[in-house]
Amino acid sequence: MRYTEEHEWLRVEGDVVVVGITEHAAEQLGDVVFVELPEVEAVVGKGDEVCVIESVKAASDILAPVDGEIVEINEVLVDNPGLVNEDPLGDAWFFKMKLDDLSVLDDMMTEDEYKDFLG
């Protein structure tokens, strides 16, 4: 897995990248009560807003960590947004992306680097 400074994780599965938020981000948000997911087949650029998460504390945007096309979304989160708090690194992934070049992930943090980043 790779990590961003925006507290997203990315996991390669075959020719797609699965994107979610880290446990740290889920804890900071508090109880998640609403998730708005992107459209499948949307082409996004790095830094584009692709998801909205609302918690009892605040609303936050999930930004596209890389350029690519959204190929699948996790519909389960629409009906069960609390899953983000229960299993942020597993079943609570947000979307899957098809990338032109997986090597862009090489510039992202490893798990150890992310832990150092958190301090």
Predicted TM-score (pTM) above 0.85: yes
- CATH of residue 80's domain is 2.40.50.100
What does DSSP assign to residue 117?
A: H
Predicted confidence (pLDDT) per residue in 57-111, tens digit? 889 999 999 999 999 999 999 999 999 999 999 999 999 999 988 999 999 999 9
In a domain, 96, yes or no: yes
In a domain, 6, yes or no: yes
In a domain, 45, yes or no: yes
Give the Cα separation of 68 and 71 in Å (integer): 9
How many domains, the chain?
1
In a domain, 82, yes or no: yes
In a domain, 38, yes or no: yes
Question: How distant is the alpha carbon of residue 84 from its chain centre?
Answer: 10
In a domain, 111, yes or no: no
Question: How distant is the alpha carbon of residue 80 from its chain centre?
Answer: 16
Long-range contact pairs involving 49-52 (C-beta distance under 8 Å, separation at least 24): 50/94, 50/95, 51/94, 51/95
The domain of 83 spans: 2-104
The candidate with the shortest Cα–Cα distance to 53, out of 28, 90, 70, 18, is 28
